[in-house]
Amino acid sequence: MTAEHTHHLHNPNATTPPPKIELVSSVPSPPPLPDGAEAMTILVTLPPGSEGNPPHRHTGPAYGYVIRGEMLFELEGEPERVVRAGETFWEPGGDVIHYQDANHLPDAETEFVVTMFGVAGQPMLIPVSEEELEARRDRRAPRP
């Protein structure tokens, strides 16, 4: 952890051990927040084998942490990947399509928390039409 990520201040009057704080993830040069952005934190529980949401986008960036289970995660231009409990994910939002947020486990729930910075009054998930998916097919990473 670098000095700019230090989140503990020495307390000479403390009678208990200091908090344990670990940097789990950071995003270099995150995308700008949309004008009039609001932050919302949601808890998502995916049933066993859930396909998650259909392809969609967000009005602003999102940062998440998998609490338990495994999520199959895919953003436009990136290969799909499995995000496991204790790992993080992020997406820039805006024009980027979020293809997958499925439960990778057929026999257990997957749970994650995500903080989104979106335009106030706009839906948190904006569906992408089949026509747009076809028009942008060349932007999707090859599938395994």
pLDDT tens readout for residues 54-76: 999 999 999 999 999 999 999 99
Decide if 26 is inside a domain.
Answer: no
pLDDT the model gives residue 4: 57
Cα separation, 57 vs 51, in Å, equals: 16
Domain of 63 in residue numbering reads as: 37-139
68 in Cβ contact with 119 (< 8 Å): no
Of 83, 97, 89, nearest to 115 by C-alpha is 89
With residue 132 as reference, give the H or E element that holds it. Answer: helix 130-135
Decide if 46 is inside a domain.
Answer: yes
Quick: pLDDT tens for 13-46. Answer: 889 988 887 888 888 887 888 888 999 999 999 9
Total domain count, the chain: 1
Cα separation, 9 vs 7, in Å, equals: 7
Residue with tokens 């009678």: 15
Cα separation, 1 vs 111, in Å, equals: 27
Decide if 1 is inside a domain.
Answer: no
Instruction: Inform me whether the pLDDT recorded for 7 exceeds 70.
Output: no
pLDDT the model gives residue 109: 98
100 in Cβ contact with 73 (< 8 Å): yes
CATH number at residue 113: 2.60.120.10
Cα separation, 68 vs 111, in Å, equals: 5
What pTM, to 2 d.p., does this model score? Answer: 0.86
Decide if 79 is inside a domain.
Answer: yes
Decide if 105 is inside a domain.
Answer: yes
Instruction: Inform me whether the pLDDT recorded for 122 exceeds 60.
Output: yes
Instruction: Inform me whether the pLDDT recorded for 134 exceeds 70.
Output: yes
Quick: pLDDT tens for 86-119. Answer: 999 999 999 999 999 999 999 999 999 999 999 9
Query: 144 is written with which tokens?
Result: 């395994």
Kindly tell me the burial class for residue 99, based on how many C-beta atoms sit within 10 Å of its own C-beta (0-12, 13-18, 19 or more).
buried
pLDDT the model gives residue 24: 87
> Pairing between strand 110-119 and 37-46?
antiparallel
